[in-house]
A = this chain, B = another copy of it.
Amino acid sequence: MAQRSTYRHGDLHRALVAAGTELAREGGPSAVVLREVTRRTGVTPNAAYRHFADKRALLHAVSMAAQAELARSIEDEQSTINQNDDDGVVAKARLRAVGAGYLRFAQTQPGLFRTAFAEHADLRDAAVSDSAGESGLTPFQLLSAALDGLVEAGVLSAERRLGAEFLAWSSVHGLAMLVIDGPLRGLDVEQRTFAARRLLEMVEKGL
């Protein structure tokens, strides 16, 4: 790593999270080891303790960053939607895009995906901006917004809206986990896309 001239680093907090994120990207949560993070940042191990209480706190920050990338993946997927369609069609497409972006991120960045949900995240974390994407919304909020859109478009009844994010999230999250390092790892690309499509259909139909 590049030797720095100044005694102070300048932006160590951010640099540590960035280095940790790269490690997580390559090897998942277990790969983000404190000493290696500081090594890559060109700083002593203990310097990290000026910015994070302990390793868990650092990992938590990395997890937030990973969730933010997940949010951006969902936003990318949503940006391809043709807005000129019928309201109901657009609303449904927005929900499907949440699931598709989620699944794509899990398979494209499995290390980051596992890190995003490795350290016990809380629902309160879903509201903090560290885990938000370009739109300022976290993955959970993007899902909620999509479901609200279904209600507004008259596709989903208010009654069925209640707790719907749990159902949708569970299904997609479960498939993602099973595909990237669960018992469904052996599936080839074709089987995966098939499973993903059928799953999103099931959610839309069974909600």
Whether the Cβ atoms of A202 and B195 lie closer than 8 Å is: no
User: Are B177 and A173 touching (Cβ within 8 A)?
Assistant: yes
Which among B123, B167, B174, B203 is the interface contact of A195 at CB below 8 angstroms? B167
Contact A202 B202 (CB under 8 A): yes
Output the nearest chain B residue to A120 by Cβ-Cβ distance: B181
User: Which of B163, B170, B198 is in CB contact (< 8 Å) with A174?
Assistant: B170
The docked-state distance in angstroms from the alpha carbon of A68 to that of B96 is 35
Number of A interface residues, CB 8 Å? 40
A85 at the interface (CB under 8 A from B): no
Contact A117 B163 (CB under 8 A): no
Question: B125 and A163: CB pair below 8 A?
Answer: no
Cβ 8 A contact of A175, one of B174, B201, B207: B174
Cβ B205 vs Cβ A167 within 8 A: no
Contacts of A206 in B (CB 8 A): 201-207
Contact status B163-A169, CB under 8 Å: no
Known contacts A171-B171, A203-B202, A206-B205: A123-B166 contact under CB 8 Å: no
Q: How far is the CB of A188 from chain B (nearest CB, A)?
A: 12
**Chain A residues in the interface with B (C-beta under 8 A):** 117, 120-126, 140, 163, 166-167, 169-178, 181-186, 191, 194-195, 198-199, 201-207
Task: Please list the 9 inter-chain residue pairs (A to B) with the smallest Cβ-Cβ separation, ordered nearest first.
Answer: A206-B206, A174-B174, A202-B206, A170-B174, A170-B175, A173-B174, A205-B206, A171-B171, A166-B195
